Amino acid sequence: MLDPVLSAAEKPPILEMRGISKSFGAVKALSDVSFTVREGEIHALVGENGAGKSTLMKVLSGVYPHGSYEGSILFGGEERHFRDINDSEKLGIIIIHQELALIPLMSIAENIFLANGPSKFGVIDRDTRYVRTRELLAKVGLTEAPETLITNLGVGKQQLVEIAKALSKDVRLLILDEPTASLNETDSAALLELLKEFRRHGITSIMISHKLNEITEVADRITVLRDGRTVGTLDCHEGAVDEDEIVRRMVDRDLESRYPARTPKIGDVIFEVENWSVYHPQHSHRQMVKNVSMKVRAGEVVGISGLMGAGRTEFAMSVFGRAYGRDITGTVKIHGKEVDTSNVHRAIKAGLAYVTEDRKQLGLILAEDIRKNISLAHLGGVSSSGVIDDIREMKVAQEFRTRMRIRSHNVYQETGKLSGGNQQKVVLSKWLFTGPDILILDEPTRGIDVGAKYEIYSIINELADAGKAVVVISSEMPELIGTCDRIMVMHEGEFVGEVAGEEATQENIMRAIMRRKGR
C-alpha cells in the first residue's frame, strides 16, 4: 500500500529529460527517450537488461557529459549541461550504484566525508565530522559508531551508509540502482520503508529494480524502457498496477509462467558433503559453517535458503577448492568416492563448478572478450602442447554463444559491455565448458531482468535433465520454490530444516528459520 501522499498529477516536475538519444559507435543505446520525474515522488525505472536504464541515468548524472548525447535535461525548471558527475552532485543529484563505492578498511565517517569533509583552516575537523556522521546515521536508522570500519558491516548496513553519504551532499534527487539486489528480505523491507520516509520529507527518488513486487509496493509511477525507447509510464495512484502488465511492457510478450515447467528425473546420489566445518579466515574463533552434511542426486535441483549471513556462500566457496575459510574439516564424495577438493584446480578436476554471486569481481575478467572468459577455467580444452589454439578457442566460444543465447556482436566483444543477464550466461558457459558433474549456483539471477531470469531457469532445467546435480543458493524464496526439487534451510552456519519442492512455501521456509532463531 502506498502512503497517503499528494496525488502524482499535482506534483511539479523536478526533472525532465526530453528526446534523449545516445549511441556507442553503430549501436544506439537510447533513442528519443523522454522521462519526467515529479518532485517528492518515488519513480521506478524498469526494463530488461540492455534496455537503456543505466545509460539514461549516466546521461542524467553527467557520467556521459553534455555534448555526448542528443536531447535536453531540465532540472528544477532550468536546462542543465553537466560536464561530469561533480556538476550534477552540486545540484543534489546523487546516484548510488549497485556495486557500492565504499572503502572497506576506512571508517563510516571517513567514507561519508571522503571528498567533502568539514574542515577548519584546511585541516579536517574530526569533532564536527563525528557529530554530523551521528546525525546522518540516525536519519537512515543506523546506531553504529562513526569510527566503525565498513568491513565490519553487513551488506544491508553498507547500503544505508551509502544513503547517509548521499544525504551529506544535500540530496534532492536520489537515484538507486538495484538497491536491494544484495539484501535479504528484512534489510530490503527496511530500505523500502526508508525511501517512503524520504518521500514524506520531500526527497525525490528514482529506483531501478528487477524486483517487481518491491516496485509495485513503493513506486508512485513506473516508467518502462524497452530496446532504448520509452514504452510508457504507469501511475500507481490510478489503481493497482499488475506485475504481469509490467512484464508484458518490458519484454513485449506474455510469460505464461515465471518459471519453466520441468518433470524431474532424479537418479542416484552423486554429491555428498559430510560433517563440514569452516572458520572465518581472519577471525579464527568464528565458526561460519558448523558440521553440516548434505546429499544431491543426479538430475536434482537442491536449493539452499537462509537469511543474509546464514553461511550459505561460505559453505559453497569452502567446498569449492577451499576458496573461503580456514581450519576446514569434513569430506566431499562424488559418485560415492571421497575426492580431493583442497584447491580450486583439484575441485574442478573432481567435477565441481561454482558460479559466484559476484560475477563482476570474481566471475569474469570484464576487460577481456567473451571468448577468453569462456575458456578461462579450462585452458587445456583449447590448447595443444601447452599453447592455446585460437581457432579452437573461438569455435568453443561460438558454440556456447549459440547454445546459451548470449546476445552480443560476436565472441570478441568485451564482456564488460554486455548486459547483466548476458554476463551471467558467459559465467555459466565458462563453468559448463569444464564438464562438471555438480554445479553450485550462488545467486544465479541477481541483478538481471525477468526475461533473462527465465532463460537462466531454463538452463538450470537443461542441466538437471542432463543428469547433473545442481545446487542453487538464492535470497529470493519464490525463485527457490519455483526452480528446486528440494530446499534446505540454513541458519547461523547450520542446516535447520528441509522442505520438499511440493510442500515449499515462503511460510514453511521462514518457519524453519524462526523456529531455530527463537531457541
Q: Are residues 185 and 77 in the same domain?
A: yes
**203 and 70 in one domain?**
yes
- Cα 242–Cα 244–Cα 248 angle in degrees, nearest 5: 120
One domain, residues 232 and 188: yes
Per-residue pLDDT tens over the stretch 324-382? 999 999 999 999 999 999 999 999 999 999 999 888 888 999 999 999 999 999 999 99
- 84 in a domain, yes or no? yes
**Same domain assignment for residues 322 and 369:** no
Residue among 213, 100, 96, 189 at smallest CA distance from 450: 213
Residue at which a domain ends, from 169, 191, 208: 169
| Rounded-to-integer distance, Cα 500 and Cα 280, Å | 31
Q: Are residues 247 and 186 in the same domain?
A: yes
Same domain? 311 vs 249: no
Residue 84: other Cβ atoms inside 10 A:
13
| Number of domains forming the structure of the chain | 4
Q: What is the DSSP letter of 242?
A: P
| CA atoms of 285 and 67, how far apart (whole Å) | 56
* Confidence at residue 240, expressed as pLDDT on a 0 to 100 scale: 76
Q: Between β-strands 326-334 and 337-338, what pairing exists: parallel, antiparallel or unpaired?
A: antiparallel
Which class for 336: exposed (0-12), middle (13-18), buried (19 or more C-beta within 10 A)? exposed
Give burial (CB, 10 Å; 0-12/13-18/19+) of 123: exposed
Q: Which residues of the chain have pLDDT under 50?
A: 1-8, 518-519
This prediction has a pTM of 0.67
**Assigned domain for 358 exists:** no
3-state secondary structure 312-337: HHHHHHHHCCCCCCEEEEEEEEECCE
Which helix (H) or strand (E) covers residue 421, if one does?
A: helix 420-432
**Which pLDDT value is given to residue 336?**
95
In a domain, 357, yes or no: no
Is residue 359 domain-resident?
Answer: no
Residue 34 lies in a domain: yes
Q: Nearest-CA neighbor of 93 among 136, 148, 37, 139?
A: 37
Domain range for 217 = 1-92+172-254
- We report the CATH number of the domain holding residue 31 as 3.40.50.300
Last residue in a domain, options 130, 145, 169: 169
Tell me, yes or no, whether 197 lies in a domain: yes
The reply to whether 9 and 76 lie within a common domain is: yes
Is position 430 within any domain? yes
Say if 356 falls within a structural domain.
Answer: no
Judgement on whether residues 74 and 107 belong to the same structural domain of the protein: no
Q: Phi and psi of 248, rounded to 5°? A: -60, -45
DSSP letter assigned to residue 414 = B
Which of 413, 435, 457 is a domain's end point?
Answer: 435
Q: Are residues 444 and 308 both part of a single domain? A: yes
One domain, residues 238 and 284: no
**Residue 325 confidence (pLDDT):** 93
Same domain, 271 and 417: no
Residues in the chain: 519
Q: Do 227 and 293 sit in the same domain of this protein?
A: no
